[in-house]
Amino acid sequence: MSTTHEDPPVPEGGVPDELVPDELVLAGEFDTPSRDEWTAAVDGVLRKSRRITDDAPLGAGVEKLAWTTPDGIRVQPLYAAEDVEGLPATGVPGSAPYVRGDLAAGNVPGGWDVRQQHALADPEAAKLSIMADLECGVSSIWLGLGPNGAPVSSLAAILDEVLLDLAPVVLDAGPEAEAAAEAFLALAADKGVAGDALLGTLGLDPIGLRARTGSGAPVDSVVPLATRVAKDFRHVKAVVVDATPVHEAGGSDAQELGFSLAAGVAYLRALTAGEVDVPTAARLLEFRYAATGEQFPTIAKLRAARRLWSRVLEASGADGPGQAQHAVVSPTMLTRRDPWVNMLRGTVSGFAAGVGGADAVTVPPFDSALGQSEPFSRRIARNTQTLLIEESHLARVIDPAGGSWYVEHLTDDLAQAAWAFFQEIEGAGGAVAALDSGLVAEKVAEVRAIREKGIATRKTPLTGVSEFPDLDEKPVERTPLPAPVERGGLPLYRPAEAYEAYRDRSDALLAEKGERPQAFLATLGPLAAYTARAGFARNLLQAGGIAGPEAGPTESAEDVAKAFEGSGTPVAVICSTDKLYDERAEATAAALREAGAAYVLLAGRPKEPVPGVDGYLFAGCDALAVIGDVYGALEGEK
């Protein structure tokens, strides 16, 4: 008996037309629910979980599940076809408005440009690292020079073995950008690379430099080199429109997009004033955006960026080209604690950048927040992209997110919000004037405050840092990098930094005294009564490097106090159920005070304050403030 699988025979000439359905109906045996029916079902679930009241109106549960982005965009839990009716047409790939990509064939089948960053101060180390990357799957190089890496004078030695007509090189030299660009063009000439064969980006970006440092050359300083590139190097881009300083300062997606439009327009004005036509000027620009672990906003941001830039060119009298995009996995998203999780953050962000249609993607090594990355971590970074392209086949479909009602709606929402911010910047005199006046910094600070609150309350969780930290994790040691260039412009905001500072403080105390700071978990009742609250309290405290020994099962306030007496800490956290709190919390707090507790917390949020309790730990509380208060109590300041 044969076990070979054989497909059923296909009639000659294919399947008859009468057997082909007009529309493929999935789950066709089920009735299609109306939106009201779906809404009622959601409301029912949330009533059972007591998240809405029994008399709440239809849709209250759905609204409870909705959330608002830092841009004020309300994101619903469900989108349907009617939600995208009336939205602007997305067109087709390779045509305005380029929402679906700037290439008609997309990145199919070879995938996007895998671009790896190199910012080593040692020229020989930089050369070896570059060659290792190029030999193992990387397709272009993002090279830091001057204050961002090796001396500009070492460029020829670093790129000695790089084939400049095969591997694009993107320069990043900050205030030495012009010198680096001249050295690169001279190197190409010395190597005999023809002008129409040279690949790369010169990296001129005085506006981005001003955003980071507070100062920079005039915008029109890019014109001489850009004009030369336009004439002699048709595959080279001269200018980078870097929007990542806005992201790195804690700005929103729409602010990042709006700033990029304003900077791009400033460069267009300068180049056209230098007698470069609009399409050519646009061809000389490459836009740089951040990709984050928020995959759908990242996808929508890249799609919205292309639509917005197409509108700018349309208003300038041109029908293209599409926007060249370099998506960089956000370095501020990476953590120094539990850095292995950064591999997952890089994977999700790289996925979003690829699905969003970026032309080039950079995934940093997972240990780059710690110092100089090692060969292993660089290998993982480049293999992450190779896996997404070769094994996950992300480049097999053009604009795979296209048609998603949620993504299409979010793309439009972001485009609208970004255009409003762009107009605000233009009304203030343009990108440079808005930076110098402090307008951009002020608007970004408003969003950063929202982000800081989300981090402090752990509503924006950081796995391995604010959530599920491991006090016993083995530190990952790396060679420190040179001190970064001082930022006199927009600040650098790293969400994990506040928690990591407390962890560093804990490590220092461990090294000095042989033990970490501690807060005693005063557990009331049997194991089942306190497990959940004790686990919550322990997780929160460990985010600040504070250990939490516990009393274990107890029968009375006296049992808790007796266990506390040998703890050696003045801080106690009462943990139990609301029922036992009503019965014993006040007595337990008093017993703990008598036993020497100077600072008493309670895990939970009772309706009325408990006498003798100094503060409360609950979902949504300011965890950073709680941790700070505990350290203050341990040091006798409370």
Q: What is the pLDDT of residues 376-408, one digit of tens each?
A: 999 999 999 999 999 999 999 999 999 999 999
User: Do the domain assignments include residue 464?
Assistant: no
64 and 124 co-located in one domain:
no
- 363 and 291, same structural domain? yes
412 and 277 together in one domain: yes
Give the CATH number, domain containing residue 222. Answer: 3.20.20.240
71-82 per-residue burial string, b: 16 or more CB within 10 A, e: under 16 = bebebeeebeee
My answer on whether 216 and 134 are in the same domain is: yes
pLDDT of 291-347, one tens digit each? 999 999 999 999 999 999 999 999 999 998 999 999 999 999 999 999 999 999 999
pLDDT mean over 79-104: 93
Residues 387 and 510 occupy one common structural domain: no
pLDDT at position 33 is 85
pLDDT-derived band at 487, boundaries 50, 70, 90: confident
- CA-closest candidate to residue 150, choices 134, 164, 133, 130: 130
Nearest to 595 by CA among 527, 543, 520: 520
Same domain, 69 and 160: no
Of 383, 412, 434, which marks where a domain is finished? 434
Share of the chain above pLDDT 90, in %: 90
Say which residues have a Cβ less than 8 Å from residue 300's Cβ, sequence separation at least 6: 253, 356, 401, 407, 410, 411, 413, 414
Same-domain check for residues 225 and 354: yes
Helix 375-386 to helix 123-135 angle (10° resolution) is 30
- Highest mean pLDDT range out of 109-113, 253-257, 480-484? 253-257
Would the pLDDT of 582 be above 80?
Answer: yes
Domain boundary among 434, 455, 474: 434
Q: Is residue 100 part of a domain?
A: no
The lowest-confidence range among 83-87, 106-110, 549-553 is 106-110
Q: What's the mean pLDDT in 210-234?
A: 97
How many Å apart are CA 272 and CA 262, to the nearest integer?
Answer: 15
Question: E-assigned strands of 64-110?
Answer: 67-68, 74-75
pLDDT(4) > 50 = no
Mean pLDDT of the residues in the chain: 94
User: What type of residue sits at position 562?
Assistant: K
**Which of 78, 101, 122 is at the close of a domain?**
78
DSSP-assigned letter for residue 234: T
Flag whether 467 is in a domain: no
What is the predicted pLDDT for the residue at 11? 54
- pLDDT bracket for residue 3 (50, 70, 90): very low
Specify the pTM.
0.93
Rounded to an integer, what distance in angstroms lies between the CA atom of residue 300 and that of residue 72? Answer: 15
Identify whether 248 is part of a domain. yes
123 preceded by a cis bond (ω within 30 of 0):
no
Q: Is the pLDDT of residue 14 over 50?
A: yes
611 within a domain of the structure (yes/no)? yes
Give one word for 91, left, alpha or beta, with left for phi > 0 and alpha for psi -120 to 50: left
Question: Which pLDDT value is given to residue 2?
Answer: 42
- Report pLDDT for 336: 96
Domain count for the chain, please give it.
Answer: 3
Q: Please name the residues in contact with 569: beta carbons below 8 A apart, sequence gap of 6 or more.
A: 517, 518, 519, 520, 634
pLDDT at 19: 67
Considering only residues 198 and 49, tell me which one the structure prediction assigns the higher pLDDT: 198
Which of 96, 107, 67, 101 lies closest to 410 in space, CA to CA?
67
Determine contact, residues 183/176, Cβ cutoff 8 Å. Answer: no
**128 and 65 in a common domain:** no
- Is residue 149 located within the same domain as residue 274? yes
Domain that holds residue 230: 113-434
Residues 70 and 166 in one domain: no
549 belongs to a structural domain: yes
Residue 158 predicted with pLDDT over 70: yes
pLDDT of 519 above 80: yes
Distance CA 387, CA 208 (A): 32
Q: Is the pLDDT of residue 186 over 90?
A: yes
Provide the pLDDT confidence category of residue 15 given band limits of 50, 70 and 90.
low
Residue 544: name the closest of 634, 628, 459 by CA: 628
Q: What is the mean pLDDT of residues 469-486?
A: 86
Distance CA 323, CA 307 (A): 9
Q: Looking at the structure, do residues 522 and 389 belong to the same domain, yes or no?
A: no
CATH number of residue 628's parent domain: 3.40.50.280
Instruction: Report yes or no on 441 lying in a domain.
Output: no
Q: Is 320 left (phi over 0), alpha (psi -120 to 50) or beta?
A: left
Q: Report yes or no on 411 lying in a domain.
A: yes
Q: Are residues 584 and 519 in the same domain?
A: yes
What was the pLDDT predicted at 1?
40
